[in-house]
Structure 1
Amino acid sequence: MKEVINEFINRVREKDALQKLMMNRVLTVSFNNEQELCYLMVDNNLLKIVSGLDCDSHVIIEGSEDDLKELLYGEDFLLSMKKREDLKVKGKLKDLLLIESLFYLANTSDRKGRKHVDSKIG
């Protein structure tokens, strides 16, 4: 799980526009897939994985490893997955919307590239 989160962090770092979304924000997100618990810290323009937090997470996301990967790769929306009960999600709506935006926008060029390649094949 940490590897997938690190890939996400790298994609966010590559996009300058996403840095503005995180400006002046401090937020902790916990990911739990029943085998592993990981924490993602948003601290102004910095994203990092942290371990052993002394405070509660602002956002808690629980689900299978496959569902969490789908979310982190921007293949589905956090709130849609919550509504379908693919994921258990807790947190304030404004925090959920920020995280959902980061997941989706960090992967926009990847999706365009895959569609372009797929259209050439078919």
Structure 2
Amino acid sequence: MTQAGYPFVVKELKRAQPLSEACEIFRGEPTDVLTSPFVLRDSKGHIHATGAGRAISSFEFEYVVFRPDRPVKLNLPKKGAMNGLAGSRLLVTLDEDWTPPGDISFTAGR
């Protein structure tokens, strides 16, 4: 549990498997607010990705998607929140300006 009293470890649990045998797939930090898993589904219910989000503070987040060999951190600003999918595009709310690698930048709140 985090210092705030929430979980920071994500485990994979299979049907009828005891929790003690669940496999750890991601670990946040004890200083985080919390870490929780997510599933990104489109409007037809198809799963595009699974992962975890770390609430580093009340206003800062990090996200990873699970790949077969390891979690991969998404290149998103810490003051941004994933909101879901529209088609095959990830919707993100920005609370700070963001310039990812390339020639484009995004303004917070737009």
Normalised to the residue count of structure 2, the TM-score between the two structures is 0.30
Q: Which has the higher contact order (CA 8 A, sep 6+)?
A: 1
Higher strand share: 2
Question: Higher helix share goes to which structure?
Answer: 1
